[in-house]
Amino acid sequence: MALFEEHASLPPLRVWDGVIARAVEGERLTLSVVELDPGAVIPEHAHENEQVGLLLSGSMHFRAGGEERDAVPGTTWSIPANMPHDVVVGPHGAVVVEVFAPRREDWDALERDAPRAPRWPA
C-alpha cells in the first residue's frame, strides 16, 4: 500500500453478507470504513483484535459484553479482545469507521468486490 491513497480507490472487502470494508493496513493496526446494508446481521462473534469504532451514518443495534445499545451517528464503542458481540443494522443501513489492533490479518483472505463508489463521504 502506498503512503497515501484515496478512500474510494481501496478495494471493498466482503466481510459478511451485506457488509463491506475498505481497509488501510499498518504494521500493527487496521483502520476501516465499513458499509452495512439495511437490515444486515452480523452474528455473534469474537476475535483477538481490540475494536474501537464510530458510527458516521445510519443506525445499528449493537450488543457486546452483556450491554446493548441503539447506536446513532456519533455513537462510539470500544470492544476488548475476545469479547463476543453482534449487530443488527437499521432500515437505512450504516457507515462506520473502525480501528482494530492488532491488524486484521484474517481479512487478507477475504474476497475483494469490484471497485465501486463508496457511500461515504456522500
* Domain residue ranges of the chain, discontinuous segments joined by +: 19-107
Q: Which residue has the cell 452474528?
A: 43
Confidence (pLDDT) at 45: 97
Tens-digit pLDDT profile for the chain (122 aa)? 678 999 899 999 999 999 999 999 999 999 999 999 999 999 999 999 999 999 999 999 999 999 999 999 999 999 999 999 999 999 999 999 999 999 999 999 999 988 889 999 87
Confidence (pLDDT) at 2: 78
Cα 56 to Cα 74: distance, rounded to the nearest angstrom: 6
Number of C-beta neighbours around residue 54 at 10 A: 15
Query: Is the C-alpha dihedral spanning 90, 55, 21, 49 positive or negative?
Result: negative
Confidence (pLDDT) at 115: 81
Confidence (pLDDT) at 18: 95
Confidence (pLDDT) at 1: 65
Confidence (pLDDT) at 80: 98
Task: Pull the grid cell for residue 47.
Answer: 476475535
Confidence (pLDDT) at 81: 98
- Candidates 1.10.287.70, 1.10.1740.110, 2.70.70.10, 2.60.120.10; CATH matching 19-107: 2.60.120.10
